[in-house]
Structures are given as structure tokens and as C-alpha cells.
Structure 1
Amino acid sequence: MIKKFLIGSISFLIISSILYESVFIVHQIEKGIILRFGKVLRKDGKPIIYEPGLHLKTPFIEKVKMLDSRIRTVDVQADRYLTRENKDLIVDSYLKWKVIDFSKYYVATGGGDVDQTETLLKRKFSDRLRSEFGRLNVKNIIMDSRGRMTIDVRDSLNHGTITDPSKDLMNQSNPFYESSEEKRRQIFKRDVSSNSMAILGVKVVDVRIKRIELPSEVSEAIYQRMRAERESVARRHRSQGKEEALKIRAVSDKSVTEILAAAECESLRLKGEGDAIAAHLYAKAFDKDPEFYSFFRILKAYEKNFGKKRKNNLMILGTSSSFFRYMRSSNIKN
């Protein structure tokens, strides 16, 4: 009885182990490959790639290797890049990649080593980006509104570096400079080389530059120069403003002087005309009675000389003086 139980238990364990080794599950974010005696299992010369789901394999002989199928992001450390005019730029960038040929990726990276793949990607990406920056000046880099440079870097990583200068897509004299992305992609496809990432079974999905900055020592020098230029412009504007202000003040002073002179002339003319008219009226009035005119003038003289506003009203004149003739009683007529 015990013997049958042991045999049954052993049989159950063997069958369970066989079933366990025969079934495997590929998760949604993964792809699976089968290794038979350390080699990737193939069918009709093509590697067998297992999609997410439940699958079967030959137990104990075949092993399953799960490979991540997601798009991964690699942050590339900010580094100095030299432009065509020998100016340093600090460039911070990143790239996205994914596995497209899982069998080739497994073999090329020694078992699907992600760290090794990303290290190689960073090195190739930096070399290619450095080459692109070396062909452009700062103005072209800043004005790269369509992102041709990053597209070329991505395509060169995927399909290899174009070595023919006539196919330089960043050369504005090249007819392909303004061509569509599909034509540009076809150019790269015709020039796939052994230094492409396709050899590793991976694809660079996107390349982006997060920021481009000048080195601190260069930035400070540029800021100082810009500040000096702005100050020079400000001084020029101030001097021009002062010059214009002096011109305006001179014109204004001239206008004021001319207006005042004209007004003074006009006032003197009007006063002269008024005095002439008054004198004429006085003459006509006094011609009718000269004695009254003489009496009126003497009274005005008395008022002027003996008025309240006068001080020290001391006059030494003889009593027979004509000035006092209207004060003598003998001259007063009833």
C-alpha cells in the first residue's frame, strides 16, 4: 500500500514537473524566444517569437527567455559639443529605443543585456550628434525648426552613417535638403552599414534635444558684451535725445522772443496811436478855451507836486512866480 502511494506520488510529481516545464506565459509587455541547447529556436530559418499569452514548449530541453518589448528612454548626460565655427555648446538630450528583432538582440547583447545596449546606444548617439554639430554653426542649430538634425541622427543610428558627402542631408545645396521625410528615409535605407543599431536588433524610435546652452564662461562673456552693446545704444539714444531737446528749446526760445518782440512792437504802436488820438482830442478841446487849458495844467502840476504820495514837499519859489499865480487871490475870479 505504501509502495503504491509512493509510486503514485512520484508519478504525480513527474507529471506536474513535466506540465510545469511545458507551459509558459508571456506577459503583455514582453516577447518570448525559445532556446534549445543555448540556440534560438527557428522555423524555416526565422526565429520563433512568442507573443503575449499562454504557450507550450518541450520540457527540460527548451528554455524560455523573456525580453522587454516596451519603448525605453535613455537620458544622455549633458556634454560639450563643438560647432563648425569652433564654439562650445552644452547639449542635454535623450533618446527612445525598443527591440525589433528579439533573436538578433539576444545574441548580439549576450542574453538581452539592457545596460550593455544602452551604453552602446549612448556612445553611438554622442558620436553621431557630435558629428552633426561639427557640420553646423550655431545659427543653423538654433534655426533647425523642423528638427532635421535629430531626424538625421535617429536615421543614421537605425540605418548607419552616410559617408558620401553628396548625400549630406544637412547641406542646403543638396536637393534632398527640402525633400520629404519618406525620401530621406529611403536614402538611409539604401546606405545601411554595419555600424547601425539594426545590427543589434534594436530601433531608435526618437531623438530629442532637451536644451542647448553656452558654457558658463562663454555665457558670461556674451552677457557682458550684450550689456556693453546695450549701454552703448542707450548712451547714443541719450545723446541724440539731448541734441533734439536743445534744438527744440532753441526753436522754442526763438519763437518766444519773436512773439514777445512782435507783441511789444504792436503794443507800442497801439500806445502811440492812442496817445496821438488823445493829444489830438486834448488839442481840439483846449483850443476852444486856452485859459481853461492853462488852469487845468497848473492844477495837474499842483497835484503832482503837492500830493499825499509826495514826501519832503519843499519848494523855494518867489511869490511872484507864475507857478503860483492861481493861488493869489487877485487872480481868482468870482
Structure 2
Amino acid sequence: MRMNTGILLFLLFATTWLFNQAVYIVDDRERAVMLRFGELVRADIPSGIHIKTPIAFQVKKFDGRIQTLDSPEAEYLTSEKKQLIVDSFVKWKIDDVSKFYRATGGDPTRIDGLLLRRVDTGLRNQFGERTVKEVVSGERDQLMADMTEILNKVAKEQLGVRIIDVRVMKINLPDNVSESVYQRMRTERERLAQELRSEGREEAEKIQAGADRQRTIIIANAYKDSEILRGEGDATAADIYARAYGKDAQFYDFYRSLFAYREVFQGDNNFLILKPDSDFLKYIKSIDKK
């Protein structure tokens, strides 16, 4: 009885061991390969439950999620031979697990060093093609986009990984470089501001000249119209006077004299010095005689 129990326990243990050796699970977040004495025999095993046949084969699993690799601060030279201190990081994930296994020898910790060397070379080339001003003020996004594209091509081919993003977090300038760069940028901003002010003054002068010209034209047209109206009024008045004189010359002469009296004697100005034989007051004299 005791022997039977021992045999059963042995068989149960052996079955459990064989099951654990033969059955394996690949998670959705993992990439797996199958090895025979260290040699790759099957790559990119799909997720799920699998059985090894033969059980002597080994299954190697790697993290298939997006990984982040922080690069230590490094010094790079620009096209002007100016030194920059750059802090960056890389996001990557396994693309071809068989290439990844061969490149790392099955040790995933080696990928950091392999990627860092390529990141360093790529950033050195990218910064070497640009000036300090371009890197600091305008072309950082383009630099990162170019770096991502170039590094992704190399990493896929050589390491079996896909580069999601290369990000430059910080660019520091040594003190001697910082002062010269900031001074150059300040000078450029002042020059641009002066150009804008000059253009503004020039535009204001153009607007003022246009307004003055328009005002002169409007005044000239108004004066012309007023002179035309005055001439037409004078002509009409002259015609009326002529017709009135033609109908009754004596009454017309009397009317004109009354108009002259009104103009002369209005207000306090009523003192005249005339010759005795002047005709100016002839109608007033005729009233006195009557």
C-alpha cells in the first residue's frame, strides 16, 4: 500500500514537471522565441497557451511594450564648433524579435548600450549640421524628427527595434557660449525691431501723404464747384438786373440807391462827407423838397 502511494506521488510529480516543461504561456505584452541549445528555431511566437515539442526546447520571452531609454547628458559641437550640453531620451519597442535576439545575444539589458551608441552618433551628426541659433531658437523639432527617422531605419535593420520617438529635453550652453549667443540674438531682435519701426514710419508717411493729397483734391473740387455756383448766381443776378433795368430804369436806379443806403447806414456808421452836387442822396433830397 505504501509502495503504491509512493508510485502515485512520483507519477503526479513527474506529470506536473512534464506539464510545466511542455506548456508555456505568451502574454499579449510579450514577444517570444524558441531556442534549441541556444540556437533560434522559431521566432515571434503568438500570444496564448502553447506546448513545446520536444520539451528540451527553451522559450525566451521579452517585453514587447514601448520602452523609454534616458540618455545621459552629452556634449556635442555645432557647425560653428560651439559646445552644447544635451539631455535626451528615446522611446522604442521590439519590431523584429529574431533580430533583437541575435543583436542582444538573448540579453535584453544589452539593448540600452547598443541604442545609446547609435543615439549618440545620430545626435552628434544632427547638431554638427546646425548652428547654435538654429538649434536653440528654431529647428529643434526638425532635428528630433530627422533623428527619429534616421535612427529608426538603423535600429530596425541592425537591432530589430522600432524607434517611436527621439526627444531632446534640454539644451544647455556653457557660460562662454551662452553670453555670445544671447548677445547675437539680442542684436538680431533689435535690428528686426528697428526695421519694423522704419517700415511703420514709412507706411505712416505714405498714409499721411495720401490723406493730404485727398484733402487737397476735395478742397480744390469744392472751391471749383463754389466758383461755378457763384458765377452762375452772378450771371443770374446780372440777368435779373438787366431785365429789371430794361423794364423801368428809374425804379431800378431807385432800388439800387436804397440798397446802397442800407449798406452805408447800418450800425453806427452813419456819417458821410459828400460833395454838394453828389447824386448819392438825390432821392433823400427829393423827399425833403416834397
Residue type of the partner of 2:2? L
Q: CA deviation at 1:28?
A: 2.6
**In 2, Cα distance between equivalents of 1:102 and 1:270:** 99
Q: Paired residue for 1:131?
A: 121
| Shift in alpha-carbon separation, 1:290–1:88, aligned structure 2, 3 A | same
Q: Paired residue for 2:134?
A: none
Count of residue correspondences: 253
Kept after mapping to 1: 8 A contact 2:86/2:172: no
Deviations 1:213-244 (A, max 9, x none): 442669x9989977875675455334323322
Deviations 1:89-123 (A, max 9, x none): 433213334764999899x67xxxxxxx3432111
Normalising by structure 2, we get a TM-score of 0.61
Kept after mapping to 2: 8 A contact 1:23/1:56: no
The RMSD of aligned alpha carbons is: 4.8
Kept after mapping to 2: 8 A contact 1:94/1:209: yes
Kept after mapping to 2: 8 A contact 1:84/1:135: no
Kept after mapping to 1: 8 A contact 2:122/2:151: yes
Residue type of the partner of 1:7? M
The alignment status of 1:11 with 2:7, answered yes or no, reads: yes
Q: Secondary structure at the match of 2:93?
A: strand
Structure 2 gap segments, 5+ residues each:
27-31, 131-138
| Shift in alpha-carbon separation, 1:80–1:155, aligned structure 2, 3 A | farther
Q: Secondary structure at the match of 1:150?
A: helix
Q: Paired residue for 2:258?
A: 299
Normalising by structure 1, we get a TM-score of 0.54
Q: Secondary structure at the match of 1:68?
A: strand
Q: Paired residue for 1:246?
A: 205
Q: Secondary structure at the match of 1:144?
A: helix
**In 2, Cα distance between equivalents of 1:47 and 1:257:** 94
Kept after mapping to 1: 8 A contact 2:62/2:108: no
Residue type of the partner of 1:53? I
Deviations 1:225-270 (A, max 9, x none): 7787567545533432332232232243234324424543564465
| Shift in alpha-carbon separation, 1:298–1:126, aligned structure 2, 3 A | same
Q: Paired residue for 1:77?
A: 70
Q: CA deviation at 1:6?
A: 2.6
Greater gyration radius? 1
Q: Secondary structure at the match of 1:90?
A: strand
Deviations 1:15-61 (A, max 9, x none): 44444444433223166768xxxxx4x9xxx6888x8226676xxxx
Percent sequence identity is: 23
Residue type of the partner of 1:8? N
**In 2, Cα distance between equivalents of 1:102 and 1:266:** 93
Q: CA deviation at 1:128?
A: 1.9
Residue type of the partner of 2:285? R
Q: Secondary structure at the match of 2:286?
A: coil
Kept after mapping to 2: 8 A contact 1:129/1:153: no
Match for 2:111 among 95, 104, 121? Answer: 121
Q: Paired residue for 2:167?
A: 211
Match for 2:61 among 65, 68, 80? Answer: 68
Q: Secondary structure at the match of 2:25?
A: coil
Q: CA deviation at 1:209?
A: 2.2
**In 2, Cα distance between equivalents of 1:105 and 1:245:** 68
Structure 1 gap segments, 5+ residues each:
35-39, 110-116, 159-203
**In 1, Cα distance between equivalents of 2:149 and 2:85:** 20
| Shift in alpha-carbon separation, 1:290–1:55, aligned structure 2, 3 A | closer
Q: CA deviation at 1:212?
A: 3.0
Q: CA deviation at 1:155?
A: 2.6
Structure having the higher helix fraction is 2
